[in-house]
Structure 1
């Protein structure tokens, strides 16, 4: 379900040898100035041109060098990922400070909500941003109502970076807050006793302990934004295409050779980064602090830090709640600005009147639910198996752990392309052509994308089980399977439930592979239906987005209620 499709992409990309790869690397469209540097490295410094900077104080003028580089497709993909990572850090660090250093009602729930990037469908986020920043979106309605000119943010780099920050800033906050809570308060107090100022104690004691977590979150965010697909496709289109979007465009044009080469280059890059992430995450894991610093009350006398935190809360509500609220509002707002249920009525009517080739909303909902349930039957056992393997001591355990997490580093577009070119088109075996297409192919893609989340939810809990208890049970005659079912599984059950809910939500929101595998058929899901509606009518797209939000929100409620905080990425 995973390695064979990825191998299919590898074979497709290297069928004619390695020469086409050199053509890609040497093509300025893909690698910009770095392609020219293959034959003439001097362009890397001759392209650095002087620019002038006029300071507002006096008449001083500074001349500084700046690379005037054409980045190409891969360069632009990395560039927008760097900007998105920086924006996520800027938005996420204050959130980490709020969660780690302040006490307020509902803090555990807010901390649980930082896991939303893993369960919120990206195409739904894109719909929310269109409803917020589109030509007739919430922001422009407020601006024009106030007598101000509207802003045009759609199909700009700024809105892509902002949408990526919406997705990944909570992840930064979650990872850094966990590290912040593990800082022993007594060490900071000792530094203060020895004469260090609060700023010096923070810089010399706290920051070094937060830096590994921050770098881990930044690396993870860079991987996510480098492989981003749905957000860039919906908010940037081909004008601001990344590698993922261009691979999809090549697949849509039946240029499978180019798609395979680009997908392979991207996969090698993302796998390298993911391996670095896993190594870095393992190094920065640490036990909880023996005496974490006491949290301050969020509600209290006006102080500088409380004012700053409340300012951040206002910005966070605008950035994180605004797009979802705008989507909800747009789904019940008519062209005249009044409240209406016409968009939901359109979905009902479309089900009855749509032609065979058109999207039927109820069919999309039922397909999503069917794929979600079916993928659980595959992803949960797979996730449990890799969780057990990753917590056992044996030669090659780190390799197994890395291999088990490989789907996390390979985009859904690559998996979908591999399934399409392999199992969907058919594989000759012993004189027969074996075809795995339709719903089975979609379920396979969803299960592959979901099972790493089961593994990451269960493995931390498995690692905390006392090994002597397991050894005693084996000594008393219990089989390995009996020990697993009677001792280990009951202790990690909250993580299993959390992983199951994660897997179901991931399947419900999966877009990257589904949009490739469901093209031209009736196997489309709610995210695919939303993308097709966006290009025609925003109202029905927001209504379908609200339906998807309800389903994924219910899944997340299961995570929070049953799974608790038992594991998960960065947990």
Structure 2
């Protein structure tokens, strides 16, 4: 192996490691150091006791567990129709399933507040634990559907066919052959949903109504409300432990599509006659669970108050300047920063995925967990760390237009990695060996063998990075200024101001963001790989 080849392999690992260390590790270290400086005479146990951390941890884990179970149950008919049924409009259905996952949590929270106070007001759960669980299900059904349906389609269908040939009924063949092989995928999806629900912020703030408090919301309260930095950092450290435990649990289940047989994907069948009835039921279920809240949001954008007048004032206000910038200009800025974040996420995520693909043993396992940590870490913790760090930086650095795209890219990189690693594993090693035997360098092997075969996955990864950056709210809200306000931050600001006009603007801007997100997801669906994984 030449020196240049060794340097190239080291660079593949070093680039993402340095990026994550600087953009992720540095703000957290700054936060911890500030906590030590201001509270060095108080131990961690005392800080956790002051904040009632045990009770907060119990609520955080409890609502996350309830949300996870509910998401799996709600996703069952959707998984079936996505994995096993071929019908016109299947691509549109996947867009509808995926859009909630990438919407800003503040938008989802206000949509469910409108839904539970309006059409579902008779339930009496306008806020509180069950309202939070319902919103979390809406947000995370896509994770269960995509992971489990991809695993189902990747199973070798010949085993199930053999069971049916031996006389097993359709139900018995599923229960005895298919279901056990889907359990790793269900476990992996559940661990991811648990991770996302345990770090949820916008949904809990809006729907918790101050009664339901989790680690995430209390970190914000202690840091911003009371400026008790040591307490906030102590809670952040506890939350990081929860995040790492959830990521280790995800790793424990392994590759959810590991049972794939090359060239034999489970065929989706077009139903006939009465077979359309369960399909119609599943589609109706999707309409109620996933389309309903968005539909209520759209209605509220033209009728901000329940029982009030119908108006387009919210949409007219999108062109009106607020603090020198209009919502439409904010959307343009958001699209620009999301595109920059997508480019950064791909530049860092591709070498990270290649490095993880080549890693073996403990290094690969640890690297896989570390690569996912930024996705699960508290956005409040990260944003507050950046706020403290940038305060010590020169003005040119703190005001750099790259700050927000880099932070957004940091959140998107784990998704890029999670999409590309399975794609790289699916490339036959014999193709790489043949190219290497003909004298191709590792770089040329990647460019001529790997890259063409993972092209669709790469495009889909870029699309997901774009929509995640477009909807990022938590960390960006700490960094945005008047001239760098993204659309999710503007929506959050409008919701915090009283008056029907501000509510109408927030609803209209949220609808605009839903449309932009749906269009981006539609592009992802066009280019996504046919055999799945996370996407």
State the TM bucket, normalised to the shorter chain.
Answer: 0.7 to 0.9
C-alpha contact 1:112 1:565 (8 A) present in aligned 2: no
* 1:417 counterpart residue number: 384
Q: Does 1:390 align with 2:413?
A: no
Q: Which has the higher contact order (CA 8 A, sep 6+)?
A: 2
C-alpha contact 1:453 1:568 (8 A) present in aligned 2: no
C-alpha contact 1:420 1:517 (8 A) present in aligned 2: yes
Q: Which runs of 5 or more residues in structure 1 are unaligned?
A: 32-71, 141-149
Alignment: residue pair count: 505
The 1:193/1:245 distance shift into structure 2, 3 A limit, reads: same
Q: Deviations over 1:388-442 (max 9, x none)?
A: 11111457233333322221232322221221222x1225xxxx89953564332
Alignment partners' CA distance in 1, 2:494 and 2:346: 32
Q: Does 1:116 align with 2:99?
A: yes
Q: Deviations over 1:66-118 (max 9, x none)?
A: xxxxxx21111111111111110110112112223333222344346544354
* 1:511 counterpart residue number: 473
Question: Which of 258, 275, 287 is equivalent to 2:231?
Answer: 258
Write the mapping of 1:145-544 to structure 2, written as runs, cut at 5 A.
Answer: 150-191=122-163, 196=168, 198-253=170-225, 254-282=227-255, 285-288=258-261, 295=268, 297-298=270-271, 300-301=273-274, 307=277, 309-333=279-303, 337=308, 339-349=310-320, 351=321, 354-355=322-323, 360-393=326-359, 396-422=363-389, 424-426=390-392, 435-437=397-399, 439-518=401-480, 521-535=482-496, 536=498, 537-544=502-509
Q: What SS is found at the alignment partner of 1:228?
A: coil
Alignment partners' CA distance in 2, 1:249 and 1:299: 56
Question: Which of 2, 20, 30 is equivalent to 2:53?
Answer: 30
Deviation (angstroms), 1:151: 4.7
C-alpha contact 2:404 2:476 (8 A) present in aligned 1: yes
* 1:90 counterpart residue number: 73
Give RMSD over aligned pairs. 3.0
C-alpha contact 2:91 2:525 (8 A) present in aligned 1: no
Question: Which of 107, 110, 119 is equivalent to 2:90?
Answer: 107
Alignment partners' CA distance in 2, 1:122 and 1:300: 41
* 1:42 counterpart residue number: none
Alignment partners' CA distance in 1, 2:304 and 2:367: 54
- Structure having the larger proportion of residues in strand: 1
| TM-score normalised per structure 2 | 0.85
Alignment partners' CA distance in 2, 1:170 and 1:404: 21
C-alpha contact 1:129 1:323 (8 A) present in aligned 2: yes
The 1:563/1:196 distance shift into structure 2, 3 A limit, reads: closer
* 2:14 counterpart residue number: none
Deviation (angstroms), 1:287: 1.1
Alignment partners' CA distance in 2, 1:29 and 1:138: 37
* 2:43 counterpart residue number: 20
- Structure having the larger proportion of residues in helix: 2
Alignment partners' CA distance in 1, 2:364 and 2:263: 30
Alignment partners' CA distance in 2, 1:250 and 1:230: 16
Alignment partners' CA distance in 2, 1:438 and 1:128: 34
Alignment partners' CA distance in 1, 2:154 and 2:62: 33
